[in-house]
Structure 1
Amino acid sequence: MNLFNVNLALIGVVTVLAVVSPGPDFAIVFRNGLRYGRKMGLATAFGVAGGVVVHITYALLGLSYVVAEYTWVLMAVRYAGAAYLLWLGVSAFLPRKSVEDQAESCADAVYVSFGEAFRNGFLCNALNPKTMLFFVALFTQVVTPGTSLVLKMSIGAFISLTHLVWFAFIVFVLTDQRTAKLVARWRKGVEKVVGVCLFGLGAKLALDA
């Protein structure tokens, strides 16, 4: 196996490990799937995949160099992402609208729009500086200047689809009828635990040097 194929294999392994590792993306998909149901969970998963496209785009345009050289760009994203995660964490403890409370017994109840759920996942990923660093490292170390645009785009598509497939799988498992019965009694408690996790991730992000 030549160095080129080794690099492609490395990209695949690193991507899968990075995606399946619990983090902000997992927490927001889990929360929305649990709270709003399968459709909104999938919308959030699509949002996460859309956020990945943002990172792919600036990496393909060569802006990863700017991110690597100008630390204030990364710091700005860090604090914006931290603030968003803190808000998501706090929102788990805010009282719901009365309409939502009345609709809790309805299996098809929808509390947010598809666009709002998509935006949750999109911003969570796009404002994650660790994801940004991942792409900077990937496209400056593994993907060489001689790599064709088609191959770069294929790699980007693979990474985005990996996110989508994994988080869609999480949503389907979470919203399966058998799983739903298991978590129904503890749903509000689980939501608050996830909210604490999101808040903790946001605080850690803000406080990390």
Structure 2
Amino acid sequence: MDGSVLALLSVLGALAIGAISPGPSFVLVARTSIAVSRAAGVAAAVGMGAGGVVFATLALLGLHALLTQVGWLYLTLKVAGGLYLVHLAVRIWRGAAEPVRVPDAAAKSHGILRSFGIGLATQISNPKTAIVYASIFAALLPASPPAWVLLALPPAVFLVETGWYAIVAVAFSAGRPRAAYLRSKAWIDRLAASVIGALGIRLVMDAAKPS
């Protein structure tokens, strides 16, 4: 197998393992799928994929070196990302006791766009993920990869991220998961809010630690 092809597959495999690992992104897509609709969950998955493209592009442009040399920028991104996740967690917690409403056609369209935006924002709110991308690229890509690899990476990353979270969306929007959610909506929403909020608080606290 060509070395460049092997490097590309290695990068995608490492990113796939990271995507599959449970975290706030997984929680958000699963909750969106069972609380709103399958289409909204898939829209959130597409947002996650778009966020992956952002990280992949920035990694190829040398984001790791920039964040390493400009310490205040990394800390700023940490605080901003952490505060966003805390804000999202508070909103989910506050709505935990509200009943699920069946939206009309216009609201469904708006909900899909909103789900995409929340998925994208959640994905890019953690600057540590940017470091993971940059580290994987630095470790597994050759020093001077051919142009086709650089062009293929962003869309391939999109397919990996979107593909996994779309599977999550389809699985959790099935009848049994949705019925279980409706029976225990308040507790499930509060658990999801706790997971997302915990990561947000952790990011802010990490930024506050003396270097």
Mapped contact 2:4–2:149 kept (Cα < 8 A) = no
Structure-1 separation of matches of 2:103 and 2:116 = 21
Matching residue's letter, 1:175: S
CA 1:9–1:57: 2 relative to 1, 3 Å:
closer
Residue aligning to 2:76: 76
Counterparts of 1:1-209 in structure 2 under 5 Å?
A: 4=4, 7-95=7-95, 101=99, 104=101, 106=102, 110=107, 113-208=111-206, 209=209
Q: CA deviation at 1:10?
A: 2.9
Bigger drift between 46-55 and 150-159 goes to 150-159
Native 8 Å contact 1:34 1:191 kept in 2: no
Distance 1:150 1:67 in 2: 27
Root mean square deviation of aligned Cα:
2.6
Distance 2:148 2:68 in 1: 24
What do residues 133-167 of structure 1 show as CA deviations (whole Å, max 9, x unaligned)?
01221233322341023212322322221110111
Aligned equivalents of 1:107, 1:176: Cα separation in 2: 18
Residues 38-69 of structure 1 show CA distances to partners (whole Å, capped at 9, x for unaligned) of 11111111111111111122223334421232
Gaps of 5+ in 2: none
Structure 1, 41-50 or 174-183: larger mean CA deviation: 174-183
Distance 1:58 1:168, change over 3 A: same
The CA distance in 2 between the partners of 1:205 and 1:182, in whole Å, is 32
Q: C-alpha distance in 2, partners of 1:196/1:178?
A: 23
The offset of 1:87, in angstroms, is 0.8
- Using the TM superposition, give the Cα deviation of residue 201 of structure 1 relative to its aligned residue in structure 2, in angstroms: 1.2
**CA distance change for structure 1 residues 108 and 38 in 2, over 3 Å: closer, same or farther?**
farther
CA offset at residue 95 of structure 1? 4.3
Cα distance in 1, alignment partners of residues 182 and 52 from structure 2: 32
Distance in structure 1 (CA, Å) of the matches to 2:26 and 2:17: 13
How far has the Cα of 1:15 moved from its partner? 1.3
TM (norm. structure 2) is 0.84
Gapped regions of structure 1 (runs ≥ 5): none
**How far, CA to CA, are the matches of 2:150 and 2:5 in structure 1?**
14
Identity of aligned residues (%): 24
CA distance 1:149–1:73, change in 2 (3 Å): farther
Compared CA separation, residues 149 and 129, structure 1 to 2 (3 A): same
CA distance in 2, matches of 1:9, 1:51: 20
Give 1:12 deviation, angstroms.
3.1
Post-superposition CA distance 1:180-207 (Å, at most 9, x none): 2233211232111101111111111211
Q: How many residues align?
A: 205
Evaluate the alpha carbon distance shift between residue 175 and residue 108 of structure 1 in structure 2; reply closer, same or farther with a 3 A threshold.
Answer: farther
The code of the aligned residue for 2:12 comes to: G
